[in-house]
Amino acid sequence: MSIKLSASDLKKLNSKKGLITLLSKEPLNIDKALRYINYEKRLKKLQTELIRLQTWAIKNEERIIVVFQGRDAAGKGGAIRRITERINPRFMRIVALPKPSKDEQSQWYFQRYVNQLPKAGEMVFFDRSWYNRAVVEPVNGFCTPEEYHIFMNQVNDFERMILESGIHLVKIYMSISKKEQAKRFEEIQSDPLKQWKMTKLDKKAQGLWDQYTEYKNAMFEKTNTKISPWKIIRANRKTEARINVINHILDRIPYDKDLEI
């Protein structure tokens, strides 16, 4: 079967990166290789804009929070890595908090998240956030119904205070299908380099799919506000999702797009 390629496509495939991309996977798939080359090119341009955004934030002492939520294996960590791999690590943090300590359990729920808010010129990326109490905790019995309702009554006011303090807040939910989640779990379990990612909660996720959906929908209904909206990113295709995530962050934050870097 003959494949018609444009001169531009041939040039891409004949490059060092193109040949590596084409030959690194079996079976040979020219269309997939071209998609990945185009993705890498788009990603590089967007990462340059992220550097511009961070330069603006540092120069103007802006504070930025990006919250990532989504089902297990939705690609939150991968998206955060692509966002942060080129920017200055001294002015950004990735926050993925563990299970609360005994002391933290006795505090106001939001306290440990307040402790992670950005300082001047800093970007903070939450790989899961206070929204664990909106979905993960009630589904898995990690909080009481009363604690859940208190959270839902307080969260919009908490975010309003964050915004009124001058912090930029971006909320992203990465959405995958049940079939895609099962596929990713299977890939993780079969790869010795990724097996550590599989947690006890992950193993229960497929069986609790409908419960997660119920609480997720309640979260959107209550917390998708005009001043602090959610952006749902369809994430069944990882590369497309990463591009869409970065584009959304760049669209939501009013940085100087003409700033020299």
* Mean pLDDT for back-to-back runs of 10 residues, the chain (261 residues): 62 59 61 84 97 98 98 97 98 96 96 98 98 98 98 98 98 98 96 93 96 98 98 97 98 97 91
Q: Closest by alpha carbon to 235, among 74, 38, 66? A: 74
What are the distances in angstroms from CA 231 to CA 68, 76, 150, 151, 223? 10, 13, 24, 21, 12
So what's the pLDDT on residue 193?
93
pLDDT of residue 26: 60
Query: Can you tell me the distance from the alpha carbon of 210 to that of 233, in angstroms, rounded to the nearest whole number?
Result: 19
Q: What is the pLDDT of residues 136-188, one digit of tens each?
A: 999 999 999 999 999 999 999 999 999 999 999 999 999 999 999 999 999 99
Return the amino acid letter for 98.
P
User: What is the SS3 assignment for 62?
Assistant: coil
> Is the separation of the CB atoms in 256 and 51 below 8 Å?
no
Strands 123-127 and 63-70: parallel
- According to the model, what pLDDT value does residue 78 have? 97
d(CA 167, CA 106): 27
Strands, E, within 3-132: which ranges?
Answer: 63-70, 92-95, 123-127
Asked whether 252 and 49 are in contact (CB, 8 A), the reply is no
What would the CATH number be for the domain defined by 61-238?
3.40.50.300
3-state DSSP: the chain helix, strand, coil percent, rounded to 5? 55, 10, 30
pLDDT of residue 16: 60
pTM of the entire structure? 0.89
